[in-house]
Amino acid sequence: MDVQALSSLLAALVILAIGASVILRNRTDRTYVSFSTFTFVVSAWQLCNFIAGATGSTLWRWLALWPAATIPPTAIAFFRQFLSQPSIGGPHRPPRVTLAWTLLAYMGLIYVAVIAPIHETLWFLVPFGAYVFGGLYRCVYDMFVQYRATTKRVERTRIRYLMLGGLFATTLALTDVLPRFVAAWPAVGNVLSILYLYFISQTLFRYRLIDVNELVGKMAVLGSLVVLLWAVYGFLLSWVGGGQDGLFLLNALVASFVILILFEPVRSLLENTVNRWLLRQRTALRGRLETLRRDLQHVVDVPDLVQRVITALEESRRVTDGSVYLLDADGAGFDRAGWFGAAPAARVDAGAARALLDRARAGLVDVDAVRRELAALPPDTPAEKREPLAAIVATAELLNAALVFPFLGSAETEQGPWLLGLLALRDDRAEGAFDLDDVDMFRQLASQAARVIESSQAYERVKGRDRLAALGEMSAGLAHEIRNPLGAIKGAAQLLLGPDGKPLPPGPESAEFIDIILEEVNRLNNVVTRFLDYARAERSDAAKPGQIDLNAVVRKTVQLLASSREAKNIEIKVRYDEMLPPVLADPDALVQVLLNLGLNGLQAMNEGGTLEILTTRRRRSRLGYGQFAEVRMRDSGVGIPGDRLKKLFIPFYTTKSRGTGLGLAIAQRIVSQHGGTIEVRSTPGEGSTFSVFLPAAPGVPVAATTTGPMTSPFATPRAATAPATPPAGPAPEAGDAPPAADGDDRPRPDPGPSPVLTT
């Protein structure tokens, strides 16, 4: 019996144990089931190889080809199921093409069994081996594609480990079958295949990056000890030589003494190396938390705060489970706002968790210390002292927490400081995983987060007062717009009655009064229509947006502007960014927005001027960092005074005698509905600029937002030769104030005197 056959038996037994350990943990998880199926097929292949090598049977060599033909579809099914997990985000694709090749391989095996026994010839084994190992290399390729598409550093590192391990394991497994092709190679592929499958099984159980790193360190220690054992025994056996069966016990005795002597120093050396590696992780954690605390000084949005905290802790590789809980609006409990690792409880009820919350108001809750305190209580301790400690431990287990840090507000209550939220952390690899410096860093982070939450609440209160003030101004504007035409209608109707109270006879005078009434009725109807348009801007039954080319929308808008009467004596310059990313939007709604802004700019230049329109890409806006498409309109008009700039988007605010004050309000609501923002700048006497930012459509690569060519120089459109088709819906109002912004390419305010407004 050769070494290859023995290694196949060893691989069959160990791989079978690995697959069984996975399926016994969870029989309902599809990823676990697909992995176990894959390992069982590999184990069956190795077992058939062992029997064939031990017996020399041609039948068993043919039978071994059946599980070998089943390896590619089961392997691809597992890895695609694994990569489609929510934490990784890959697409779910069944191995349909591979199944077709598998059926073809089955048909070939039936052919060689029934018609011609050629399964041991090279011209059959070479294409068959190419099919089997081609399927395995396809799994490596799928991991490579997902590695390039994954943006999260934690998952990228996880996939990189699996991708490189799969590449080496598949390549060395290929060398084990090369002796069949008359090529002598050492049997090392089975050993690496066992290690790789064990590595995958552990990543299924411990899916956090910190566990993967720890597993690599442990495997390095165990692997080095295995090499040490192999080297000692191999040296002694080669020294004694063959045919010395009587010296076997002496060899074993000497080798055991040598191994015991060398084991302790080698293990200490390797463990110290791993500990230094983990120490670097601890240093990286502190640096990351310090950077996070500085960044939180500029954060006012609570969801953004939670996301930053969770991401920093997850990528630190020093925390396996973490969660953030925030006080609900009623103050009756704390809702889970973000988490990673094992899923904690979705809510903490204030009544059920009173013991933990009371201790949290006093500071840090160290669950391990509470457990020790509970264990140290004498058996005759009253229940009123024992039960609160047990309740703290039970609540912490629901939170998957070893440490609970409170978000303490500045207000005081009867129970103590006002509790705004909780930060629950745990390292499930060992008790007391965090030292005093780590705890101090987490405490400072929780304190900084509490200040951000209080600032955000204060900001929301200010916004609420501003909304009420805006509602009051809108109501006053609406009343003014309705009362003016009603007064004109009433006056014209009174004049139609005549001085004696009788209706005027038909004639030029009565016709003039009737025209006034009709004109004011139309004006009143226009006010009501525009108000309904504003109220309907957030309808749930609005048309679903699709992916569109924003440049095409701008071109249509430019045609409409060039053919309008307001464009007389005004030069319109346009520049398009041909690398502009697509956006998800309703094109007709965007035409309405841009046409409204463009007409505002034209009307701000009564004596002529220049309207510049350009599209460009941005990596940041008032919404934060990301991928944005910007449309900028710059006029050379009179500009807007600073005291009026903040009122531009208030409904019914207008500086025009015939405007309703709803054009810009509707534009602002449409842009917000598309997830974008409008940034306004103006310098009185020099002009104004409107910048419309829309987020790029999901899935747009980063390259689509990097610097690229623009059409240049400025293109000046001519008036359309035929009337352009207006956008769907009511025609946009000519605007109630000219647009405003400056010519800076950056979407941020200048430190100069120019007022800035963002909506």
Is residue 152's pLDDT more than 80? no
> Tokens at residue 274, please?
């791993």
516-533 pLDDT, tens digit per residue, is 888 778 777 777 776 666
Comparing 98-112, 157-171, 404-418, 680-694, the range with the smallest average pLDDT is 404-418
Residue 400 contacts residue 426 (beta carbons within 8 Å): yes
Find where tokens 């109220």 sit.
535
Helix intervals (H) in 614-746:
642-645, 663-673
**pLDDT-wise least confident of 107-111, 341-345, 510-514:** 510-514
Q: What is the pLDDT of residue 184?
A: 46
Mean per-residue pLDDT of the chain: 75
Please provide the distance, in angstroms rounded to a whole number, between the alpha carbons at the two ends of the chain: 79
Please compute the mean of the pLDDT values over residues 383-397 and round it to a whole number: 90
**Model pLDDT, residue 657:** 53
Q: Is the dihedral of CA 120, 123, 129, 131 positive or negative?
A: negative
Distances (CA, A) of 583 to 545, 589, 593: 9, 13, 15
Mean pLDDT score, 66-94? 86
Percentage of the chain lying above the pLDDT 90 cut:
14
39-43, 234-238, 524-528, 554-558, range with the lowest pLDDT = 234-238
Asked if the model's pLDDT at residue 208 lies above 50, the reply is no
Alpha-carbon gap, residue 96 to 142, rounded angstroms: 15
The whole-number pLDDT of residue 705 equals 40
Query: How is residue 586 written in tokens?
Result: 């309703």
pLDDT of residue 220: 65
pLDDT score for 217: 61
- Determine contact, residues 337/356, Cβ cutoff 8 Å: no
pLDDT at 34: 92
The pLDDT of 385-409, averaged and rounded, is 90
pLDDT at position 633, please?
92
- Among residues 546, 556, 606, which one has the least CA distance to residue 734? 606
Q: Above 70 in pLDDT, residue 745?
A: no
Our measurement of the distance from residue 636's CA atom to the centroid of its chain's CA atoms, rounded to an integer in Å, reads 41
Residue 174 reports pLDDT greater than 60: yes
* The pLDDT of residue 739: 37
89: left (phi over 0), alpha (psi -120 to 50) or beta: left
Cα–Cα distance measured from residue 75 to residue 142, given in angstroms and rounded to the nearest whole number: 11
Per mean pLDDT, which of 134-138, 152-156, 262-266, 653-657 is the most reliable?
Answer: 134-138
> pLDDT band at 540, cuts 50/70/90?
very low
pLDDT higher for 9 or 223? 9
pLDDT band at 743 (very low <50, low <70, confident <90, very high): very low
Number of residues in the chain? 759
What are phi and psi for residue 533, nearest 5 degrees? Answer: -60, -45
Please choose, from the candidates 1, 106, 4, the residue with its C-alpha nearest in 3D space to the C-alpha of residue 49: 4
Q: How many CB atoms lie within 10 A of CB 308?
A: 18
The predicted pLDDT at position 70 comes to 93
Q: Which of 624, 752, 20 is closest to 308 using CA atoms?
A: 624
Check residue 227 and give its pLDDT: 64
Give the pLDDT confidence score for residue 542 in this predicted structure: 44
Share of the chain above pLDDT 70, in %: 69
Q: What is the pLDDT of residues 419-477, one digit of tens each?
A: 889 999 988 765 666 777 778 888 888 888 888 888 877 766 666 666 666 666 666 66
Give pLDDT tens digits for 299-318: 778 888 888 888 888 877 77
Q: Does 244 score more than 70 pLDDT?
A: no
Continuous H helices in 150-208: 153-177, 189-205
pLDDT, residue 139, reads: 93
Task: Give the mean model confidence (pLDDT) for residues 698-715.
Answer: 46
Query: For 565, which DSSP code?
Result: G
Per-residue pLDDT band for 648 (boundaries 50, 70, 90) equals confident
